[in-house]
Amino acid sequence: MVTLKELSTRPEPLTGGHRMCPGCGAPIIVRQVLLAAKDPVVVVSATGCLEVSTTIFPFTAWKVPFLHNAFENSAATASGVEAAYHSLKRQGRFDKNIQIVAFGGDGGTYDIGFQSLSGAMERGHDLLYVCYNNEAYMNTGVQRSGATPKGATTTTAPAGKVSQGKLQWRKDLTEIMVAHELPYVAQATTGNWADLTKKAEKAFATRGPKFINVLQPCRLGWGYRPEDTAVLGRLAFETCFWPIYEVENGVYKVTKPRDKKPVAEFLKTQERFRHLFKPGNEQLLADIQQGVDAHWAKLLAKEAMTAGVKK
């Protein structure tokens, strides 16, 4: 694994002075992922918070080749870049190794860009797709997405007299990517640089399609103090609200918290879940805890089941 000292000597892929919100986890994710690459990188990014805040014409915060594409086709664009790259190598017109990375928020990954992502993964393109997952359409007004967790209030699934936030459980996109039989799939969270950097480094060393789903606290849509971004990321892991794990050639490896905390410890830190703690919502809180526990148990069972499988 690359050391912190070595990371500090590598050139920054994203400059300061961009217009992301104070406390935003997206630039943290970008830096940690790209610094893990030993080879030059080409970045593709769908429309979203990351793109609109780092490439306001005529300025750019990117110090690496960067392509902006529409909301729905980040993975398709990256597939084209990868195909062109290998074509140039076959023709003898290019002899360097590069890494191709696509970034997308949960709206452009779970929902609008899902067909593009699934197609690129199924075709087997040699690229890394990273979802910076803030669990709603934050760039366009905090609307619910397929990644929004049950009980969270959004502008299109608000908490009020009729309902108490989103009624459905979030889509388990990481497991959908596992079902594509990719060589490497992982979940990580903002606030644990060593884990994310190690997973990115492993992804870059793996040939074929890779996917990393990173939980990214959003100060605007979640409602918390901007200095607590990393704290919330770690708390999501400690409560198993967002498990940290990887699946390498079908073999699960789950990182366990030292002391699994009640999910309420995570939920109570954010305004989007504030209504859950009002009288009358005790059963909804219990349902969410039960759902988190059930998902955690399934994950541990998958790890045990694949423990003896050869990589």
User: Per residue in 29-69, pLDDT tens?
Assistant: 999 999 999 999 999 999 999 999 999 889 999 999 999 99
Range of the domain at 24: 4-306
- The pLDDT value given to residue 266: 98
Q: What is the pLDDT of residues 127-174, one digit of tens each?
A: 999 999 999 999 999 999 999 999 999 999 999 988 999 999 999 999
Whether 311 maps to a domain, the answer reads: no
Q: How many CA atoms lie within 13 A of 98 on its CB side?
A: 20
**56 Rama class: left (phi>0) / alpha (psi -120 to 50) / beta:** beta
107 belongs to a structural domain = yes
Judged by phi (left if over 0) then psi (alpha if -120 to 50, else beta), residue 145 lies in beta
* CATH code (residue 244): 3.40.50.970
- pLDDT band, very low/low/confident/very high, at 310 (cuts 50, 70, 90): low
Helices (H), ranges, the chain: 4-9, 26-35, 49-54, 74-90, 114-123, 173-179, 193-204, 229-238, 264-267, 282-306
Among the listed residues 25, 36, 178, the one whose alpha carbon sits nearest the alpha carbon of residue 106: 25
Query: What pTM was computed for the model?
Result: 0.96
Do the Cβ atoms of 209 and 134 come closer than 8 Å? no
String of DSSP letters for 137-153:
BGGGT-B--TTPPTT--
Residue with tokens 């870049």: 81
Average pLDDT estimate for 117-125: 98
Note whether residue 254 is domain-resident: yes
191 falls within a domain? yes
Is 253's pLDDT higher than 70?
yes
Task: Name the residue type at position 204.
Answer: F
When divided into structural domains, the chain yields a total of 1
Tokens of 14: 């994203």
